[in-house]
Structure 1
């Protein structure tokens, strides 16, 4: 590629950039997997990327360091209050995400696939996952209302979540309790039936987007059986029809390592009014539908965080000079950049695969096993790599990157939430076991998808394909054993999650590399690093030799 044909080089500072236009991976994977969606929305995504790199990024830095949310506990007359105070910049950017269609475009008579919302989430997380999180939950609540709520409730509340005039209500999902954590079936919150609705009593321990306009909450009606089958799912408005606050108290806001702009609280339900979205035994299924939606968004958010880590590291490397040259010219810096780029491509491929699976499962019930399987794999692996890539970005930028004046410090703190949000690694391993070694045939869907991907591999990746096939045979044998001996599942579930996520990521990269020399180099590198054994310490790295082709924006370093 000549200098004249190269994309514009990376800027010296990322703030003010168009995050969509600077990120080739998302556009490339969308163009290959969903070209019609990209054709309809490329301008919209570019405009969103410009806003994300501009006003949203400016707000994120300000809110994180100077104006996090606070809780007002008394009103002006000295009475008890429970009101979350957000700074105007955060509040305006949150509303702007909905106005731009981050949720609303995927609902209504001309609804776009949810893949578009997930792509918006990717761009949001490049700037501020503290706004991506509530946007995700708003979409999750809207999804459950559209799919599972009675017609009256759907017609009454769904329009308030999907409107695009800047006045949309935001959503929350209240499932976690102090004693139960990820064990939602252990919910102790009570639901008491009244005329026209339900009254909820209990403590929700970890509620992000505290103060949301509409939240889904799990609760157990009096007399319902214990466990998940006794749960109902209820929609709890922040305010009652007359405008008065609903009967719940935000006891405190959590002090968190990251996502400091996002209000996360402990909420005491004190007879809060709610309407039933799904009663027992379907309440847990409704909440799990919300969490599944959020997990796909989590994968896109983690991939977006990696995109930002790559952007920060590359911008620094091209403009920082040491010993007379830009540091992007030094082999060890190039190795680090290749590591981030390789994992970012894998995460973006996994995220897009999960987004497509979500939309397919909306159309066909027999696609659900693959959705359950790929969501667990994508959520897990993208989150793991978001944390690692953020660490590498801090390391590359060095001392400046460790300071709060630099975006990499916030990026690292925020990336950690993707590993715990909507279920940490062990929960994803249990989800994978249920999808592949239980009643669901997710393992067959996995084998079918990986096999199909390998059939599209370019000839130059023959060795990589053989390695992936060997890994696929190993996984197939392991799952067959676990079906016969399910008691072994908890012992090896995490290892199975690791291996299957690496195999799927490798297969997707190989598939994407069919007519893309750049991706072929990264795919071969990925297979060698994750599936091909340690290899020789002194082996040449073909990707390093072709660095200027893989990073055309860094080609002009001189």
Structure 2
């Protein structure tokens, strides 16, 4: 007969919760400080304590286990297209909105806030992504929409006071009557995908407004109060502000067909939609829709990279926490030499990604007043998104493996992180699109882009293999057939930028990063780097204090 004692679980790591996501993350703390964000330390620690709590972990789990549901018609058969969420989702949204994740990069009148606002916001975004990433989608789009709405000052002036609020208002009601609002986006059509110039949705002028008829294959965050959409007007593809309700208070002609059944990102709704004479206001000039809506793209790409870095940070922290408590062959797993090498190699990758995304955010802060930083932002944003986002799924698989079978079951947050990770590489431009955008920036802004590359070379001067990597990236991107080899060149460029950012924060680890990533003899697997025991211990202690 089996005794009760034999049924008790033992040699299991305790829950990784009730921690300060900021104070326990030394690479984040230092990256924020070196990018001018020291003023936010107290607020960030409070944010880190809240989001590192067991209660927030529970909300993240519930929001994903209870995905949104679309109600197409009401009890009387009237089409409404309402998306309903579990209370945990609304609680996550309320906390993020209260922290200004959707608006803190802007002033109350829609101007860039300046200072270190982008760095400070990104640190909160990075921490929130470690707990629940899906709810951040409408928040990042709302924040990015302000950049596009600047092309239509009268619309921005009406919407900005509500966007600027830190009150979360989930009511299904006209946006003008709400205490806070969110904005989604619809560009993609089934026949074109990334090729938005092939969009067939039509816009017909109706006085000062337009009536839009057509479809979107992906309409992000259909629960939002308004959307920025692209449609063909008389003078070509144009951007429009499309609210959920018409001015007379009736539900707009936005007919959601279904919610997408996605691999991950389960807490967030994505939809297919038909427009039937949907009311909309023009944003920017007719025929300038791509130029207008592209203003959203840089900030959303920045957030994709930040979220992916946050997901990897969470994967590392959970793997390291487990390894420090799990005993295997009479030693803690974290003290086994091979596992220590794997974890240290992962910690180095996260440290470099964290330094890089915070450095990128500094360029967003300074772009309006510093042409060099503006050039850095334009050239490096797609490169950073490419490398950081595409590295996340493989990284999180490795983190799952560190927990063995426990990492593969749904009780572990790592299964959710693993499903979540690919979307950031797909949204706002897939890998090939990112590489094309880097090449485009290099060709359009030759002198400014070359100056950025020269700065990266100067900032990595003396690091082994850095000069060779820079030379390779430049020569490859300038080849006549550069599209064929663009992925390798852009990956090298991103890693060079990561080395430069890390060299400011922690020079010794920048040297390790270059040796293990840019040297021709590098391993393609985590744990293949030849770290000393002291180097491994230093990396892991910075990643998560023992």
**TM-score after normalising by structure 2:** 0.89
Unaligned runs of 5+ in 1: 1-10, 225-229, 456-461, 515-519
Alpha carbons of structure 1 residues 432 and 196: separation in structure 2 relative to 1, 3 Å: same
Deviations 1:293-328 (A, max 9, x none): 100111111111111011111110111112222100
Aligned to 1:127, what secondary structure does the other structure show?
coil
* Structure with the bigger percentage of helix: 1
Taking the aligned partners of 1:102 and 1:432, their CA distance within structure 2 comes to 27
Cα displacement (A) at 1:543: 4.4
Deviations 1:227-268 (A, max 9, x none): xxx221111112233432211111000000101000000111
Taking the aligned partners of 1:554 and 1:304, their CA distance within structure 2 comes to 13
Name the structure 2 match of 1:62.
62
Contact kept in structure 1, 2:346 and 2:395, CA below 8 Å: yes
Deviations 1:368-406 (A, max 9, x none): 432121101110111122212211110001101100011
Q: Mean Cα displacement is larger for which, 247-256 or 537-546? A: 537-546
Cα displacement (A) at 1:353: 2.0
Name the structure 2 match of 1:166.
168
Name the structure 1 match of 2:515.
528
Unaligned runs of 5+ in 2: 1-12, 170-179
Aligned to 2:80, what secondary structure does the other structure show?
strand
Contact kept in structure 1, 2:473 and 2:490, CA below 8 Å: no
Cα displacement (A) at 1:287: 1.0
Aligned to 2:291, what secondary structure does the other structure show?
helix
Aligned to 1:20, what secondary structure does the other structure show?
coil
1:153-192 correspondence to structure 2 within 5 Å: 153-167=155-169, 168-192=180-204
Contact kept in structure 2, 1:202 and 1:268, CA below 8 Å: yes
1:546 is aligned to 2:535: yes
Taking the aligned partners of 1:73 and 1:428, their CA distance within structure 2 comes to 36
Taking the aligned partners of 2:303 and 2:544, their CA distance within structure 1 comes to 33
Alpha carbons of structure 1 residues 554 and 153: separation in structure 2 relative to 1, 3 Å: closer
Deviations 1:502-557 (A, max 9, x none): 2222232233324xxxxx1x323322222112279999834433322322279997
Taking the aligned partners of 2:544 and 2:490, their CA distance within structure 1 comes to 37
1:156-555 correspondence to structure 2 within 5 Å: 156-167=158-169, 168-221=180-233, 223-224=234-235, 230-364=236-370, 367-455=373-461, 462=462, 465-479=463-477, 481-482=478-479, 485=480, 488-514=481-507, 520=508, 522-534=509-521, 541-552=530-541
Alpha carbons of structure 1 residues 179 and 368: separation in structure 2 relative to 1, 3 Å: farther
- Equivalent of 1:148 in 128, 146, 151: 151
Taking the aligned partners of 1:46 and 1:119, their CA distance within structure 2 comes to 10
Taking the aligned partners of 1:154 and 1:543, their CA distance within structure 2 comes to 56
Taking the aligned partners of 1:28 and 1:543, their CA distance within structure 2 comes to 23
Alpha carbons of structure 1 residues 183 and 176: separation in structure 2 relative to 1, 3 Å: same
1:22 is aligned to 2:24: yes
Alpha carbons of structure 1 residues 364 and 143: separation in structure 2 relative to 1, 3 Å: same
Alpha carbons of structure 1 residues 466 and 402: separation in structure 2 relative to 1, 3 Å: closer
Q: Mean Cα displacement is larger for which, 48-57 or 422-431? A: 48-57
Contact kept in structure 2, 1:548 and 1:555, CA below 8 Å: no
Taking the aligned partners of 1:217 and 1:546, their CA distance within structure 2 comes to 50
Q: Mean Cα displacement is larger for which, 408-417 or 532-541? A: 532-541
Name the structure 2 match of 1:127.
131
Taking the aligned partners of 1:284 and 1:200, their CA distance within structure 2 comes to 17
Taking the aligned partners of 2:492 and 2:296, their CA distance within structure 1 comes to 27
Contact kept in structure 2, 1:98 and 1:162, CA below 8 Å: no
Alpha carbons of structure 1 residues 424 and 171: separation in structure 2 relative to 1, 3 Å: same
Taking the aligned partners of 2:322 and 2:362, their CA distance within structure 1 comes to 34
Contact kept in structure 2, 1:468 and 1:507, CA below 8 Å: no
Name the structure 1 match of 2:104.
105
Taking the aligned partners of 1:556 and 1:289, their CA distance within structure 2 comes to 40
Contact kept in structure 1, 2:227 and 2:242, CA below 8 Å: yes
Alpha carbons of structure 1 residues 334 and 100: separation in structure 2 relative to 1, 3 Å: same
Alpha carbons of structure 1 residues 33 and 295: separation in structure 2 relative to 1, 3 Å: same
Aligned to 1:169, what secondary structure does the other structure show?
coil
Q: Mean Cα displacement is larger for which, 529-538 or 470-479? A: 529-538
Count of residues in Structure 1 that have an aligned counterpart in Structure 2: 516
Contact kept in structure 2, 1:380 and 1:419, CA below 8 Å: yes
Taking the aligned partners of 2:370 and 2:209, their CA distance within structure 1 comes to 33
RMSD value, Cα: 2.4
Name the structure 2 match of 1:227.
none
